[in-house]
Amino acid sequence: MFDFNPVPLIDTFLGFKAQIEINRKACETDFARQVHDMTLSKIEQVLADLRHDVAFQAEIDAERGTPEGDALWEIMNEGSWFFQAAWLDKGPVSVIDHVWIYADGSVDAYRRSLRGYGLVPAASLEGLQDIFRTIRRETGVRFIAAYRSVKDDIWEA
């Protein structure tokens, strides 16, 4: 069990947002600017989930000390936070196409295969790949820029 605290992560992601906005201004291609914009949209989604977790944590804190509140706190700290479920547990998150991979390899869930997807070359991202690496190192969130290279969905069990 761990005590998840979303508050410092909000500040961290606000810093990444500012860094991406600054980096975007230096982009030379429309494509790179668009990928930066898509990444900013993902960062906003991360921030929304973290803010939800802050509000939910306040609700749980009000109930701590009661059997129900303590039980809920235990469940939440085993990994049921919105941020963790949306951004850490599902593998890499593409800022271009919606690509999720279930990291646990569970047999009862379908996983989207990375076959049929290509990664955008780092040079085409104009500095964004370095920011992705920093985000992963500091938060565990793994952003990638993957694009569809086939028309049909490819699913595997």
Q: Rounded distance, CA 18 to CA 12, Å? A: 10
Model pLDDT, residue 59: 81
Model pLDDT, residue 78: 67
Model pLDDT, residue 47: 96
Helix/strand/coil (H/E/C) assignment for every residue in 131-157: HHHHHHHHHCCCEECEEECCCCCCEEC
Model pLDDT, residue 16: 98
Residue pLDDT tens, the chain, 157 long: 346 788 999 999 999 999 999 999 999 999 999 999 999 999 999 999 999 988 888 888 788 888 888 887 777 766 667 788 888 877 788 898 654 444 444 433 334 444 556 788 899 999 999 999 999 999 999 999 987 655 444 433 3
**Could you tell me which residues are beta bridge partners of residue 143?**
93
